[in-house]
């Protein structure tokens, strides 16, 4: 029977009705957890017989062909003491009894005293845990895709790079395992100037998707054999996400227009460096949010607004895409001519109201880490016509959930 290694998220939620270990004070509890030879330890909760931990750990577990886990989860309760900690109680859980219906559900177990002297207190100590996540580990993913043409790994950083086969090496999906138990997903374009527009988003329900984007004008080597020119990143994705709901959409794109921020702001009377107070007095035909210190200027009527956001005495440049029928089959971009670019996009479903509800914004682009002295004329605003959408899911590409 095939056995696959998975990463799980184990949360020690709380414990209740813990005994005293001396006559003068309550217990100072902590738990030591063993999962198939891996050991973890919670923090200590001083003087607390009903501690709440809510601490998560990320053990590797084995899962057989029938979906059953194997091995044992051991929970050991200790009382911290100045000179020598006391071993108080324990519980051993057979992981093969865990069922899919118990995922992300609190499970409460009765702790067993390790010494008879605690029984006289007539307490019934319990521990509550949750187990969820269950995604294939780096080593399992590496083994599963090893035979795929073009598949690459970075064993030091625990990252797998999976080519979308029908793209003929043009598009890669990266899965990077973080030490904190979370996963970063990246999508790469391996050719400069490819007439494609890539988008990552949550596919159903009420959504907020933040995607970090990077452009590398001369290419960037991610790992030997993989040089990329564009990168999309969704970071710190929790293990318990349904990866069928995290999507990648690839469009063919054709550029419709290109302008720069200087042309936009000059048309509204912008001159030189301006504080928010100066801008509100000098600029014309603009929308102003006095509370948030934001100034909006039309770029493409009914489609986009250039937003100057005064944040902590600094002005951030953003592009707001309006929720109108004219924007549904178009894409937009905010970039800096001739530079490597870091930016962030935020997608809102449903759209968010701005300017007291006068406009509805479905997406925001924001430039990150602009070089000091970047001029408005170097900031470019691009507009594209989209066609031929191809939709993928992260689960379909990576099979992370098995």
- CA–CA distance, 135 with 394 (Å, rounded to integer): 12
If you compute the radius of gyration of the chain from its CA atoms, what whole number of angstroms results? 27
pLDDT tens digits, residue range 214-268? 999 999 999 999 999 999 998 878 888 889 999 999 999 999 999 999 999 999 9
Tell me the H-state helices in 34-145: 138-145
Confidence bin at 83 (pLDDT 50/70/90): confident
Provide the terminal-to-terminal Cα distance of the chain, rounded to the nearest Å: 15
* Confidence band of 206 (pLDDT split at 50, 70, 90): low
DSSP string, 195-253: SEEEEEEE-SSSEEEEEEEEEEEEEEEEETTEEEEEEEEEEEE-TTS-GGGEEEEEEEE
Strands (E), 117-206: 126-136, 152-154, 159-163, 171-177, 183-189, 196-202
222 touches 367 (CB < 8 A):
no
Its CATH architecture, for the domain 138-253+389-398, is: Sandwich (2.60)
DSSP 8-state symbol, 305: E
CATH 2.60.40.150 domain locations along the chain:
3-134
CATH superfamily of 3-134: C2 domain (2.60.40.150)
Residues 98-113: tens digit of each pLDDT: 998 998 999 999 999 9
The partner residues of 32 in beta bridges, in order of sequence, read 41, 76
Q: How far apart are CA 378 and CA 375, in angstroms?
A: 5
With contact defined as beta carbons under 8 Å apart, do 359 and 305 qualify? Answer: yes
Cβ partners under 8 Å of residue 158, min gap 6: 138, 176, 177
């Amino acid at each position: 029977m095939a056995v696959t290694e998975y990463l799980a998220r184990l949360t020690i939620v709380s414990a209740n009705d813990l005994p005293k270990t001396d006559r003068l004070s309550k217990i100072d509890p902590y738990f030591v957890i063993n999962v198939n030879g891996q050991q973890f330890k919670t923090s200590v909760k001083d003087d607390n017989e009903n501690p709440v931990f809510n601490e998560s750990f990320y053990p590797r577990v084995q899962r057989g062909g029938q979906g059953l886990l194997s091995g044992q989860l051991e929970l050991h309760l200790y009382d911290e003491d100045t000179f020598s900690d006391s071993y108080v109680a324990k519980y051993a859980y057979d992981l093969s009894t865990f069922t899919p219906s118990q995922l992300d559900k609190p499970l409460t177990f009765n702790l067993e005293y390790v010494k008879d002297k605690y029984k006289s207190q007539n307490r019934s100590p319990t521990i509550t845990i949750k187990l969820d996540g269950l995604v294939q580990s780096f080593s399992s993913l590496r083994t599963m895709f090893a035979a795929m043409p073009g598949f690459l790994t970075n064993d030091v950083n625990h990252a797998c790079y999976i080519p979308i086969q029908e793209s003929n090496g043009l598009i890669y999906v990266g899965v990077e395992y973080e030490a904190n138990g979370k996963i970063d997903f990246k999508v790469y374009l391996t050719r400069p100037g490819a007439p494609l527009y890539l988008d990552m988003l949550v596919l159903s329900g009420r959504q907020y998707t933040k995607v970090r984007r990077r452009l590398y004008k001369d290419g960037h080597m991610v790992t030997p054999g993989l040089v990329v020119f564009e990168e999309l990143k969704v970071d710190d994705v929790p293990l318990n996400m349904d990866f069928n709901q995290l999507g990648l959409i690839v469009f063919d794109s054709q550029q419709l227009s290109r302008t720069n921020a200087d042309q936009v702001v000059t048309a509204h009377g912008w001159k030189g460096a301006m504080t928010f107070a100066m801008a509100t007095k000098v600029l014309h035909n603009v929308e102003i949010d006095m509370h948030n210190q934001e100034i909006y200027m039309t770029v493409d009527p009914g489609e986009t607004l250039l937003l100057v956001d005064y944040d902590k005495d600094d002005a951030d440049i953003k592009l707001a895409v309006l929720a109108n029928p004219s924007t549904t089959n178009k894409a937009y971009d905010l970039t800096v001519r001739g530079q490597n670019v870091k930016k962030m996009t935020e997608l809102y479903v449903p759209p968010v109201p701005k300017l007291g509800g006068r406009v509805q914004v479905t997406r925001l682009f924001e430039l990150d880490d602009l070089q000091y002295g970047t001029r408005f004329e170097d900031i470019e605003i691009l507009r594209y016509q989209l066609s031929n959408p191809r939709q993928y899911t992260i689960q379909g590409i990576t099979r992370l959930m098995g």
